[in-house]
Amino acid sequence: MHQEAPAALSSAPLLFQLIQTSSGTEASTSRPARPKPGLRPGPNIKDTGSRMRGTLGLSLSLLVCLTLGLLCVGLACVWSSRFRGGFGWDGSGLEFNWHPVLMTTGLVVVYGYASVLYRVPMTWGQSKLLWKLLHAVLMLVALLLSVVGLCAVFDFHNKNHIPNIYSLHSWVGLCAVLLFAVQWGAGFSLFLLPWSPLSWRKAFKPVHVWLGGSILGLSIAACISGINEKLFFVLKGGNHSQPYSDLPSEAMLANSLGIVIVAFGLVVLYVLTNKRWQRPEAQPQDGAYAVS
């Protein structure tokens, strides 16, 4: 079990909390010096400066992640509403327009936010169970948004007699959603239900982390191929419209959405793979990450 923070810590100013929790992370990634009996180690100005820079780097990365995620949702909404006529649920192209917005929001942005939740320094001094629950709830929201996004495209296809699940985009996207559903079910059963054995949690944790990153990668590949496919479908030129190859404003906006999605994924993976930014008790050597 990880140790609870003192009550005073939760009411301390944020910057103080950041430094305290960052100090915990640093200590867990390198073997701490053993203090002499009866003495508490005094503060080291160089170490404190380094830790503060580390936590500021994490906070900045999380801020970039938050901003890029909101930009993804905003660009997808502008594309569907301004260039594709808006939204509806009537089997027309307006229903299809939910597909890029919901898949980007659920499978990429909310998924990415839920992935980096444990890296938010203000969560480190608090009970992990609360943040596990929020992680699971956010992931469930992401999964439900993705399923509704799939329903939108299936319903649009069925009502317009367009075949389903033939393009590579659809194969990869469906793989991503199916793996996500399996990951959520397995994660819930193993890490939230109290009767799952500790040995199973420890064994499954690396698979959960690897599969989590892989699903994000698959989702991004599905988004890129989907945006690319849609632009080739709708920007054919003729009828007073410009072809995709002329890069009209719709193409510029949707291509930019793709690049922002890629940038968001890179920042999320950077935050997740940086060992200095792991939640303190999540170090492998204490074996406690799977218990709380």
| 104 alpha-carbon distance from chain centroid | 11
**Three-state secondary structure call for residue 243:** strand
C-alpha to C-alpha distances, 30 to 26, 52, 61, 130, 198, nearest whole angstrom: 7, 17, 23, 28, 25
Q: Which stretch binds its own copies (CB under 8 A): 44-52, 55-63, 181-189, 249-257?
A: 249-257
* C-beta of 128 vs 169, nearer to its own copies: 169
Which of 27, 270, 288, 291 lies at the binding interface for its own copies (CB under 8 A)?
Answer: 270
Q: Binders of its own copies among 5-64, rule CB under 8 A?
A: 29-31
- List Cα–Cα distances, 172 to 161, 176, 182, 226, 232, in angstroms: 22, 6, 15, 10, 19
Of the candidate spans 95-103, 122-130, 132-140, 229-237, the one that interacts with its own copies by CB under 8 A turns out to be: 229-237
Using the minimum distance from each CB to its own copies, give the nearer residue, 17 or 25: 25
Among 172, 234, 253, 288, binds its own copies (CB under 8 A): 172
CB of 228 to its own copies, least distance (A): 4
Distance of CA 176 to the CA centre of its chain: 14
Binding its own copies (rule: CB under 8 A), the pick from 85, 210, 241, 249 is: 210
Min separation Cβ 157 and its own copies, Å: 10
Choosing from 175, 234, 253, 291, the residue that interacts with its own copies (CB under 8 A) is 175
C-beta of 190: minimal distance to its own copies in Å? 18
Evaluate whether 14 touches 22 at the Cβ level (below 8 Å): no
Count the alpha carbons within 13 Å of 241 in the hemisphere toward its beta carbon: 14
Question: Binding to its own copies by residue 229, rule CB under 8 A?
Answer: yes
Minimum distance between the CB of residue 76 and its own copies, rounded to whole angstroms? 14
Of the candidate residues 122, 162, 181, 198, the single one contacting its own copies (CB under 8 A)? 162
- Classify burial at 208, counting beta carbons within 10 Å of its beta carbon; exposed 0-12, middle 13-18, buried 19 or more: middle
Establish how many alpha carbons lie within 13 A of residue 267's alpha carbon, considering only the half-sphere containing its beta carbon: 23
DSSP per-residue string spanning 17-46? HHHHHHHHHHHHHSPPPPPPTT-PPPP-HH
Distance of CA 98 to the CA centre of its chain: 20
How many C-beta atoms lie closer than 10 Å to residue 158's C-beta?
12
- Decide: is 234 part of the binding site for its own copies (CB under 8 A): no
Binding site for its own copies (CB under 8 A): 29-31, 162-163, 166-169, 171-172, 175, 206, 209-210, 213-214, 217-218, 220-222, 224-225, 227-229, 231-232, 244-247, 251, 254-255, 258-259, 262, 265-266, 269-270, 273-275, 284-285
